Amino acid sequence: MQIERLEIADILLVKAIKHVDQRGFFSETFRVDALANYGVDAMFVQDNHVHSAQRGVLRGLHYQTQPHAQGKLVRCTQGTILDVGVDIRVGSPTYGRHVAVELSAENWHQLWVPPGFAHGYVTLEDHCEVIYKVTDYYAPECDRGIAWDDPALAIDWRLSASEVILSEKDRRQPRLEDVAPAFQFGR
């Protein structure tokens, strides 16, 4: 397993290695010690599995506030997605900036998005499956979001607005400038 820091150092790209032979493959997709070497001491409490039938399904940008803030370790096991983490930690030198990484069944990469970041992804092809570990349970009272198309974030989702398929909840999310601060950098 290889891990590298991205443009926002708290977001990590995890590259699991596939060992392939005539039977198929073997891969370690999660190791506590490997993540701990990069400062991730998270305890995962739940795995989520999502299927999106169509290209253009956009889920996000979501986060949970304290006391149920979530870190997420995201991977795509079928198809291809563009996975995005947005820094929403007030006082952070990268506040309002984002990292976007293509995750796919082919490249087998994962993205660690820690608490303090909004997260979302869009499917780049039909029939995508995403599996992700979270560090806290879903808590509706702490559930928040930011508009996927907030111009201040300038996220290139690789699709036009007319191609994006959203839930009603995600259609109504506010811009980052209109949300109450939920996280402070360095805390």
- Would you name the residues annotated as active-site residues? 62, 132
Provide the mean pLDDT of the chain: 97
What are the beta bridge partners of residue 102?
82
- Using only C-alpha atoms, the chain has a radius of gyration, in whole angstroms, of 16
Evaluate whether 29 touches 74 at the Cβ level (below 8 Å).
Answer: no
Q: Which domains are assigned to the chain?
A: 2-184 (2.60.120.10)
Pairing mode of beta strands 183-184, 72-78: unpaired
Structure tokens at 183: 């996280």
Question: How high is the pLDDT of residue 61?
Answer: 98
User: Average pLDDT for residues 125-148, to the nearest whole number?
Assistant: 98
**In the prediction, which pLDDT does 186 show?**
85
What percentage of residues in the chain have a pLDDT greater than 70?
A: 99
Average the pLDDT over 26-51 and give the result: 95
CB-based burial, 114-125: b 16+ in 10 Å, e otherwise: bbbbbbbbbbbe
Among the listed residues 27, 35, 178, 179, the one whose alpha carbon sits nearest the alpha carbon of residue 114: 35
* Measured distance CA(146)–CA(143) in Å, rounded: 11
Q: Picking from 17-21, 122-126, 162-166, which range would have the lowest pLDDT averaged per residue?
A: 17-21
Largest CA distance in the chain: 54
Give dist(CA 185, CA 21) in Å, integer: 46
What are the tens digits of pLDDT across the range 51-70?
A: 999 999 999 999 999 999 99
Would you say the pTM of this structure is higher than 0.85? yes
Cα–Cα distance measured from residue 151 to residue 25, given in angstroms and rounded to the nearest whole number: 42
Planar angle of CA 133, 173, 79, nearest 5 degrees: 45
